[in-house]
Amino acid sequence: TLTQLAPDAVLKAILRKPTHDRSPDDLEIIYEELVHIRALSHLSTTVKRELANIIVFESHPRAETVLFNQGDEGVSWYVILKGSVNVVIHGKGVVTTLQDGDDFGQLALINNAPRAATIITREDGCQFLRVDKDDFNRILRDVEANTVRLKEHGRDVLVLEKVSANPSAAHRHSASSHYKYTVMAGMPQKMLEHLLETRLDARHLSVRDEDIIRPYSSATDMFLDDFLLTHIMFMPTHQLITELMRNYRIESPTQDKEFVVASKSRVVNFVYQWVTSIRDPVFDETITHSFFEQLHSEVHADARLYHTLREEAAMLDHVQELLGEYRAARQQGGSLATLTWTLPAGGQSVVLFSAVNAAATAAASNRKGSGESNAASAFSVEKRRPIRADDDIIFRVYCADHTYCTLRQPVNATAETIKLNAADKLGLRHEELVLAEIKSNGEKSVIADTEVSIATCLSINGRIFVSPKDHLDAMTVLPDQEGPSDGTCNELEMFSTRELAYYITLIDWDLFCSVHEYELLYHVAGAQPFRKIKSNLDLFLRRFNEIQYWVVTEICLANTLGKRVQLLRKFIKLAAYCKEFQNLNAFFALVMGLSNVAVSRLTQTWERLPSKLRKMFTEFDGLIEPSRNHRAYRIAVGKLQPPILPFMPLLLKDMTFTHEGNRTLLDSAGLINFEKMHMLAQTMRTLRYCRSRQLLLQPPTPRSEQEVRNYIRNLRVIDNQRILTGLSQRLEPKRA
């Protein structure tokens, strides 16, 4: 009887048969049909033949039939044979229409997520081919299209790509196999929705702590963490909280309680992850405060209605506590008027550390009310806290005749404000003034009006000048910018090398732990658009340069061969200790100092070095070798366990490389290149990984503890290469 029907009807009749009743001829007919379907065109012959065995026919006589609802569990995948459907999203309505040849419903299956949209037939007599979950997983999951582009109103809103998931992730959810969709690009709002839907189910919040901190396993699903670390690049906080609120308040047209509760729960879980993983910068955006308060009260009200939300209510209680702590810390900071960072005053970096100590000491002696505060200063009480945007900083601004004024300004004061204040104090009346840094080598660079945290990003012996625009060329370097004229090798010889390395590392660790991951973003994308500061990062980098020039300065100021050889030995051993302490930042600084031409050209000195130390240096030099993208270093650091002090300039280079080599926007409509965000986040996670364990070094047997600490804090250096090379040539003139 089948043969009497139209070919179309034959096919339908076969497809309606129970799958085990299909004859080889039937399968051939189905296969022939599958060959012509656009949604299947990328599949191999074998896969299509397998599909012929199990694919089923589904038709709906009436328009407005709901195939499934947003939030439902995904049970099958569809291809449209005839007709069209609307894709409907709560809170947005119809976002797009799909036609015959299109497919849908793969997202929920592949990501084990609830349905991202409701599907409703648009016309009478729609026909579909359907593959149910188990068959989909068996046959299609791993071969289904690698890229899925979701559209809304005619433009791409989310581009997903299948990647191989971490095998350990597969163990956790037995249903998932090796592949999962990750976001390659998307509109901010859609990415957030996708994140909430697929990554924030309280039931299986899939990010484990180890995943967050281990940067090297790129296969792990890091969507949530990537988003939290980088959203400020593409979705400012005010927009994020607006969207979160909207998602929290989403209603279900079908009054589906489960859907509503799940949506609310996800938003709260997102907020919780956000606050606990990013911490202070979330609260620094003060617009978040009222949002958290609002959400807190809404969740509590909702929890009375939906009891399952009680856990979420408790999470927000905790967020309120954290906010309270943040506010308390602020107030304390404000009352401690002495907590300022002073820059520059003579040997400027000196003050940078000691000002903090003075504050700590003052606090300590207030508490104790005794005179022993001096002994208590430095390391025990110290525990620097990170510099914040509204902290005050004290620094000098000079003018042409080398007179200066001392300013006290918030760290995030703009160059323009500083310029106006300085001009005012110095009595400069001029139309066109500029603020500029003059380095010790005479180099001048004008500071743009919008720049912030000027004082912390000066070069080591650089100073801030204010001058009429057309007089800038006439500005001269201050005498004290040259740096010291006498070395300290006698002092240095008395200190134990291990003790030096120990205190160098403590300072570095302290500076390193103050650097927020966000500062890396500010570094590449510029702090001004965010009006944020990266002063903690500045100080850490500055310290790197200081140590580097310290090595060169000391050696070039040692005027006897014997002293120079002693110093060379000392610095090589110091590098060895820093390496042992996993302080690779100082290790690089020391070895780079030793490789500076002003040092490396001192052949007489190097010849007198014991061969054991020379060999050691050659090995160190190999480690800092930049070839093949610092391969030697990357391999070495990859083998270490935290705590690690990484070579910071390389992390910044990686950030810059990613930032400059990849566009943030993929089109004019605002599609964000999320792959780039992932790469940036990977580098940012390295910071977290490095300090995921506390630094616990065996303290050295104290010999000259106080002297060593003071010395290490107050390094005075020459950072003018010309002077250093000149000194070096005088020490060991080139042999004719």
* Least separation in angstroms between CB 30 and ligand CMP: 23
Applying CB under 6 A, does 263 fall inside the site for ligand CMP?
no
The β-bridge relationship of strands 56-60 and 126-132 is antiparallel
* Least separation in angstroms between CB 78 and ligand CMP: 8
- Cβ neighbours for 452, distance < 8 A, ≥ 6 positions apart: 389, 411, 412, 413, 414, 415, 527, 528, 531, 532, 533
- Cβ neighbours for 63, distance < 8 A, ≥ 6 positions apart: 121, 122, 123, 124, 126
Applying CB under 6 A, does 104 fall inside the site for ligand CMP?
yes
Applying CB under 6 A, does 107 fall inside the site for ligand CMP?
yes
Residues touching ligand CMP: how many (CB under 6 A)? 17
Site string for ligand CMP, 148-177 (x = CB under 6 A): --xxx----x--------------------
Applying CB under 6 A, does 646 fall inside the site for ligand CMP?
no
Give the helix ranges, DSSP H, for 157-286. 167-172, 188-199, 209-213, 223-234, 237-248, 257-278, 280-284
* Least separation in angstroms between CB 274 and ligand CMP: 23
* Least separation in angstroms between CB 66 and ligand CMP: 12
CB 661 within 8 A of CB 673: no
Tell me which stretch binds ligand CMP (CB under 6 A): 13-21, 28-36, 104-112, 686-694.
104-112
Residues in the chain, how many? 736
State the DSSP string of 90-118. TTTEEEEEEETT-EE-HHHHHHT---SSE
Applying CB under 6 A, does 192 fall inside the site for ligand CMP?
no
Of 630, 511, 495, residue with least CA distance to 571 = 495
* Least separation in angstroms between CB 664 and ligand CMP: 22
Q: List phi, psi (to 5°) of 671.
A: -75, 120
Of 15, 170, 24, 139, residue with least CA distance to 81 = 15
Applying CB under 6 A, does 79 fall inside the site for ligand CMP?
no
* Least separation in angstroms between CB 103 and ligand CMP: 7
Applying CB under 6 A, does 96 fall inside the site for ligand CMP?
yes
* Least separation in angstroms between CB 8 and ligand CMP: 26
Instruction: Tell me whether residue 185 or residue 708 sits nearer to ligand CMP (CB atom).
Output: 185
Applying CB under 6 A, does 108 fall inside the site for ligand CMP?
yes
Cα dihedral across residues 521, 524, 529, 532: positive or negative = positive
Applying CB under 6 A, does 115 fall inside the site for ligand CMP?
yes
* Least separation in angstroms between CB 68 and ligand CMP: 7
Which H or E run contains 216? none
- Where in 12-61 does DSSP place strands (E)? 56-60
Q: List phi, psi (to 5°) of 287.
A: -60, -20
Within 10 angstroms of residue 414's Cβ, the number of other Cβ atoms is 21
3-state secondary structure of 563: helix
Instruction: Tell me whether residue 51 or residue 117 sits nearer to ligand CMP (CB atom).
Output: 117
Instruction: Tell me whether residue 105 or residue 487 sits nearer to ligand CMP (CB atom).
Output: 105
Applying CB under 6 A, does 105 fall inside the site for ligand CMP?
yes
Applying CB under 6 A, does 188 fall inside the site for ligand CMP?
no
> What gap in Å lies between CA 109 and CA 133, rounded to an integer?
7
Applying CB under 6 A, does 87 fall inside the site for ligand CMP?
yes
Instruction: Tell me whether residue 48 or residue 115 sits nearer to ligand CMP (CB atom).
Output: 115
Instruction: Tell me whether residue 156 or residue 298 sits nearer to ligand CMP (CB atom).
Output: 156
For ligand CMP, the binding residue among 74, 281, 483, 487 (CB under 6 A) is 74
* Least separation in angstroms between CB 196 and ligand CMP: 13
For ligand CMP, the binding residue among 14, 34, 51, 117 (CB under 6 A) is 117
Burial-class residue 680 by CB neighbours within 10 Å (0-12, 13-18, 19+): buried
Applying CB under 6 A, does 271 fall inside the site for ligand CMP?
no
Distances (CA, A) of 309 to 197, 206, 254, 301, 464: 17, 20, 20, 10, 56
Instruction: Tell me whether residue 128 or residue 577 sits nearer to ligand CMP (CB atom).
Output: 128
Of 656, 595, 669, residue with least CA distance to 625 = 595
Residues forming contacts to ligand CMP in the complex (CB under 6 A) are 74, 87, 95-96, 104-108, 115-117, 119, 150-152, 157
